[in-house]
Structure 1
Amino acid sequence: MTRSLLAAALCGLALPALLPTAAHAQADRASDRARALAQTAIIVDGHVDMPYRVQVSGADVGQAVPAHDFDFPRAKAGGLDAPFMSIYVGAAFQGTGGARAEADRLIGLVEGQAALHPDKFEIAYSAQDVVRIKKAGKIALPMGMENGAPIEGDLANLAHFHKRGIRYITLAHSRVNHLSDSSYDEERRWGGLSPFGRLAVAEMNRLGLMVDVSHITDAAFDDVMAVTRAPVIASHSSCRHFTPGFERNMSDAMIERLGENGGVIMINFGSSFLTAEANGHRRAMAEAYDAYLADNDLTHSAEREAAFEAGYQLNKPYPHADVSDVADHIDRAVELAGIDHVGLGSDFDGVGDTLPEGLKSPADLPNLIDELIDRGYSDGDIVKILSGNLLRVWRAVEAAAE
């Protein structure tokens, strides 16, 4: 398969731009009831890749940043109160070293945004902080670490990152690491969690760090369930039922078991997580490019690949999902695990130009609320999905540590 296409598809970060469509215009579907609920309820998002994006762009998200998905004006417009800032440490650091230092740099970047705009942002260290910061009219910035590589084989680093404000850890990312196998990696080194990974889960329980099972293999998920004594989260995953064979999403059995554990699955908004058609688009384009090189006796180059992609997408544009597809995943997860075990984990700024029609930024969150209203969800149940379920898990993890 083509190097850059598959790397982007697997990691869910730094995806190449797709052809512009009318979907870039912010949809305006929401009713007054949905907009009012978005502003009065607390909305928690399990995964926003603002730190990674800002590290690259240098943008100030306290102001409007149209090139990004997340910024303060659009978050306030859509009612987003507590986006978990993803401290994303790529798998490359597992080979080069420096994973802990990279995580510390990104945490400092989030702290810098809060310090630059103390009237807009505040770091949240607890579930109660989120409630307090919402009441103060500001956006809470809790933090979660995506990839356990910064632990670097030392359990003391878990306490270090907890002290710095990390409140969940995604055990692995796109490659197997010293904690766990990855759903994106064909190498299954540990057959689930490593022995150290089991110790790390127990230590996370002791410290009050939520365990995030997004990105890990099914076997690793089973190991987490066997070890943990607190509820766990899937911070940005969707239902495999709609994307057969895509291990990155959760199977029906896993979602059911997550509910039995008391945890929460937070639905990812990326189109490739939502529909089989979108999920297969990049792979089909990569296969077509490889065939093009072979048929014409050509070698790969970034320029040649970009030109091929542009032509390919003229004939086969990316099939964006719709806000209704997100609601389909919510319906499925509620059916399997119950209304108390579903949340939102958008992956804003992490899935490139693959966000659904009508859900292109936090400003569009009322559109999703409106869809849930239309499907018969009560305001109380919608509030559970928006934040109540995640805040319950967070408090349970805090209590288990105490």
Structure 2
Amino acid sequence: MTYARTTQIGIPTMDCVPDFPSSADTAGELHTRLGELRRQESLPRVRLPDGRQAWLVTRHEDVRTVLNDRRFTRDVMGVRARQSGADPGGARSVNMDGRPHSELRSLVAKAFTVRRIEAMTPRVQAWTDDLIDAMEREGPPADLVAHLAVPLPAIAICELLGFPVEDRDALSGWCERITAVGDGAPDPTAWLELTKYIEHLVPVKRAALGDGPAPDADILTSLVHAHDSANALTMEELLSLAVVVLAGGLETTQTAISAGMLRLFRNPDQLDKLRADPDLVTGAVEELLRYQPVIDVNRPQIATEAVRLGDQQIGEGDLVQISINAANRDAAAFPDSERFDVARGPNPHLAFGYGAHHCLGAALARLELRTAFSTLLRRLPNLRIAAPPESLSWRGGHVTLRLEELPVAW
């Protein structure tokens, strides 16, 4: 770790600051440095994976402010363009705020209503059972990542989007490349290949539209109809929105299933409590979302005007990097915050964000997680880890953490 030279006004210079602490470096555990930084009175500066410098926000109250205050935005490029006197123009994106964001969000929101997601429960259960059936046929030890954590979310999001399920491996590969962080990331070639793939599906959806989309039409069909009949979005916006939904539905839930199960293995008393009372699964999912890092690097935001967070003045145009993982361990919001407790309540975690950009796919993720954990523990009551936890590999350098494999036996 390197440290900053200090200017006369006491602000670290750009060339030498601590790197953002990644949980990939600590085997999926919350990096201890994040807890130390949260307990500081003033906000620290960190170097992001792409080399930019930002204020690091780690306290629960402050992270909620950044996520829900109009003086912060995820539309960094748009703000930078306006600061330079240029017209950002171009396509709308879900990173924008206000009307552009709400217009795009409304085009896909119907697919993620709690009612529609709950209607998927029998199918999610059937997919889960089929995947566990295949794992049982192969016999132990088996990799829970490959057999369940990766395919289950991929099947679900492909169905919602209207993508062929058999293409899920290729889709996952493209998403892995476009969610990389650091120098030279994300991979522009992967974005181009993925958008071309989606573009080739558009005529198929258009041909099946007839008089209009059915009430339960897949997302891509609905977007094609919005593009063709109401001119509600451009083709560039359609493709971008489909990619965002796909990427959001894949890697985060894949990691939450595998890393969540590992977390239970690491806490056998909590695993036993859940086995003894399966009705605890809903609260257990919330606690896993709070305690287990899944998103490693949240999207940076930018201040549109001067803002004070605690005793720190954030200047207009300053970048701000939140850590939801650190905020979810804040003792000011969670009594005994460092204890993993499947019966915890209330649990105001920020795993799905907060405010206008709260994750659209939260209900789907919760359904998949509840189904995966409850089915595993019901069908395989002796399920156990089949490798030392310290021997497991974690992928870094991406927005989302990933446990590469999780050998299990039963």
Give the TM-score category using the shorter length.
under 0.3
The TM-score with structure 2 as length reference comes to 0.21
User: What TM-score results when the alignment is normalised by the length of structure 1?
Assistant: 0.22
